[in-house]
């Protein structure tokens, strides 16, 4: 299968984002040392972010790494805007927000003039139609994902987070202008864990993903550096 989209503006080695899903800055720093030059882009989520990880994010960005702050903001517009300004001042590259129009609009306006890009989470991948109905929505998951992707694009959001299975459909909806960032990546032979909708790195790239978020297959590997390098090789082959 040929890649749905070639995006030469992204350095191939920046397409792998390793999720630093660890409980402490010390554990994160030990892993960053082990990974060395094999990883250029790290994701910091709730677990590490609320345990000192935002100070680490600033240090990582200062040392030349790229940082994805995955804190999925959602609040009144003014509060979102001030939070986005603070994350931009860390030197982060990506920040997630939930795909509500007010939230996306405030985030996009607040990141203007910085190097920060806003990624929208359309519908959490743990939600199915019955979860949406229980939360008071009338739309099903696929219709809400599509509606929110269109709203995100219209509001100037820089990218979307999606499962790799949604990537090809989203690429058709939003075209080439938005970054698609996909977790749920499992190299052949690695444990699935709790992820249900998974793809290999090569298949996700072929489906149109720009960036692959990988946690446990690298973080829990016997040789994390070798695991990261194997994923780079697979990405490069998929893009060739």
By CB under 6 A, name the binding residues for ligand C5P.
19, 21, 45, 125, 161, 183-184, 193, 195, 213-217
- Closest residue by Cα to residue 163 from 212, 197, 193: 197
Q: How far is the CB of 102 from ligand C5P (least distance, A)?
A: 22
Give the three-class secondary structure for 205.
Answer: helix
Q: How far is the CB of 126 from ligand C5P (least distance, A)?
A: 7
First-to-last CA distance in the chain?
11
Residue 161 vs 206, nearer CB to ligand C5P: 161
65 labelled catalytic: no
Residue nearest to ligand C5P (CB): 215
**How far is residue 203's CA from residue 209's CA, in Å, rounded to a whole number?**
9
Residue 81 vs 230, nearer CB to ligand C5P: 230
Q: How far is the CB of 2 from ligand C5P (least distance, A)?
A: 25
- Two tokens, residue 93: 């590259």
**Rg of the Cα trace of the chain?**
17
Residue 19 vs 238, nearer CB to ligand C5P: 19
- Two tokens, residue 85: 């300004």
Residues 180/167, Cβ–Cβ less than 8 Å: yes
- Residue 195 dihedral angles phi and psi, to the nearest 5°: -75, 135
- Residue 56 dihedral angles phi and psi, to the nearest 5°: -60, -40
Residue 69 vs 81, nearer CB to ligand C5P: 69
**How far is residue 116's CA from residue 192's CA, in Å, rounded to a whole number?**
31
Write down the catalytic residue from 43, 58, 65, 72.
Answer: 72
Residue 65 vs 216, nearer CB to ligand C5P: 216
- Residue 201 dihedral angles phi and psi, to the nearest 5°: -55, -45
Strands 211-214 and 159-161: unpaired
Catalytic residues: 72
């Amino acid at each position: 299968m040929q890649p749905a989209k070639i995006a030469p503006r992204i350095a191939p080695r920046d397409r792998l984002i390793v999720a630093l899903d660890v409980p402490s800055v010390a554990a994160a720093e030990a892993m960053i040392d082990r990974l060395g030059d094999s990883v250029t882009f790290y994701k910091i989520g709730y677990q590490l972010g609320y345990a000192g990880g935002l100070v680490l994010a600033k240090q990582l960005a200062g040392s030349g790494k790229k940082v994805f702050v995955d804190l999925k903001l959602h609040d009144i517009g003014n509060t979102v805007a001030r939070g986005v300004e603070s994350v931009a001042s860390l030197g982060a590259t990506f920040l997630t927000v939930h795909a509500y129009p007010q939230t996306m609009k405030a985030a996009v306006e607040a990141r203007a003039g910085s190097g920060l890009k806003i990624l929208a989470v359309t519908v959490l991948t743990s939600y199915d139609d019955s979860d949406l109905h229980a939360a008071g929505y009338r739309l099903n998951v696929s219709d809400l994902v599509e509606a929110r992707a269109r709203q995100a694009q219209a509001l100037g959001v820089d990218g979307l987070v999606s499962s790799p299975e949604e990537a090809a459909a989203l690429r058709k909806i939003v075209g080439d202008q938005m970054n698609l960032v996909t977790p749920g990546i499992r190299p052949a032979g690695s444990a699935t864990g709790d992820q249900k909708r998974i793809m290999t790195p090569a298949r996700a790239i072929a489906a149109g993903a720009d960036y692959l978020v990988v946690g446990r297959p690298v973080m829990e590997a016997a040789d994390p550096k070798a695991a990261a390098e194997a994923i780079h090789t697979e990405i490069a082959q998929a893009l060739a």
